[in-house]
Amino acid sequence: MARRRRLSRVPGGQLSLWGDGAGDPRPTPAAGPCAPSALGGKRAHLIGIGGIGMSGIARILKRLGCMVSGCDAKATDLTAELAERGIAFSVGHSPEHIAGGPDLVIISAAVRDTNPELREAQRRAIPVLKYAQALGWLMQGRDGIAVSGSHGKTTTTSMIAWALRVAGANPSVVVGGLVPQLGGNALCGAREGPFVVEACEFDRSFHNLTPRAAVITNIDRDHLDYYSGGLPELETSFEQFARRTDPEGIVVVNGDDPAAMRATERIGATRETFGEGRDCLWRLDRFTRREGRTQFRVLHRGRDFGSYELLAPGLYNARNALACIAVCAFFEANRQSVREALATFRGAKRRFDRLGEAAGVTVMDDYGHHPTEVQVTLAAAREEYPQRRLWCVFQPHQYSRTRMLLPEFAQSFGKADRVIVPNIYAARDSDEDRQSVHARDLVQELQKNGVAAEYGHELQETLSRLLEVVESGDVVMTMGAGPVDNVAHDLLRELRKRETQHVVVSRL
């Protein structure tokens, strides 16, 4: 049975983290070179530090008093921010980066066994942890909260972290997105505070976590380049993740998602369901979108648990909030504080992100790169702008995902008036994958379904095309996990130039 955990208000200040987790009944996580609380003066080197998760861990380690260095293939805004925080960054990979002998090396999931720095660390017998193992190590002895799911985990993780922070719990956070209210992609809170992390299923990385509370937002067919067994294999992987939850903790599960329900039938922790179905323990009721705010009532065990509101549109965001409410209730966070937090939550960047308006055109960006994400995001955009022409610039992410989910993608763009599909962004794709499908294939399938779609070629050509055809009153949303957001920012900049030059194009 789940044992409720009361959160105390934790003061800020210079922070050190948790002990070694002795006596913890949960499965043993990956071991680091020392207890995380003893990191002061130690040195850690991160290979692939420019990744969103790796850079988050780097920030946590730095706040713990650890001397941090790292490298990646190229410099980015994230690595520039790390350098500003006193974290040494190098472009490229060299055994010389291991000179001086760090106490710990952490590698991203993308680092191959042939990496020269990794080989040098192994030669020197320096402890090496994968990113997910490092998260599990840092979670030792903490009230860990791990948010998983095929969709919505970044937003739900951010909501939980923000709500706990507003409630005074001073959490630590590592999330797979940039959340301005949390100061970016990581936040190092107090030793007594909870540790909230986004738990990814790729490479079964979430099997390294031992949370006291876990969330499964949904389970969908994704990462099929890794889960060749499809949905059944994914369900098994999520079940193994859920089984790592403290038996006295909870697993908060989407009760309307059959796959998530199947995956959690035989777990040790208490299962608490959320959704719209009458059998859900936490139920969404009276959902409305009015005057730029989402409003809904929450029922718990059939009883009124209060009314809530969000800035973010879309039923899917209300579901994410419902999972947040369930987790916060387990930790007995102040209910009014949670309500205030959700009402003021502004979301993560690249999640239904309104970038601005110029020349009468509203420009938006979203990270959605799976058919389900595309469908719900465009539905929310249509709900928000029912009378305006909606353009979607969708950059497919991975050749393998595009090929395997092509029929689903073809059914996902019905809410858009016009769709432009630039070239596919490659990630972990083999030469065979690259030859198996083309962006034109998706365009053709969309056209067969009556969608006004066109091929956009490279991103610069897509931008040029948009500047030719967009008109005052249009809404343009870029979507994808690749650099398609550059198109949105460049479009907005060019439209602002038009404004200053008093060039306004109106639809006839």
Catalytic residues: 153-154, 198
Q: Which of 120, 90, 115 is nearest to 102 (CA)?
A: 120
Rounded Cα distance, 351 and 234, in Å: 24
Which residues lie closer than 8 Å to 47 by C-beta, 6 or more apart?
A: 70, 71, 93, 105, 106, 107, 108, 111, 115, 117, 118
Tokens representing 15?
A: 């922070």
DSSP state of 349: T
The rounded distance, in Å, linking the Cα atoms of 417 and 390 is 5
Question: How many CB atoms are closer than 10 A to CB 4?
Answer: 10
d(CA 100, CA 300): 56
* 455, 419 Cβ separation under 8 angstroms: no
Q: For residue 131, which phi and psi values (nearest 5 degrees)?
A: -50, -50
**CA angle, corner 159, sides to 35 and 319, nearest 5?**
125
Euclidean distance between CA atoms 448 and 464, whole angstroms: 26
Separation between Cα atoms, residue 279 and residue 167, nearest integer Å: 29
H/E segment holding residue 274 = strand 270-275
Distance CA 66, CA 488 (A): 38
> What is the phi/psi pair of residue 397, to 5°?
-115, 115
68 close to 61: Cβ distance less than 8 angstroms: yes
Which residue in 20, 85, 72 sits closest to 45, CA to CA? Answer: 72
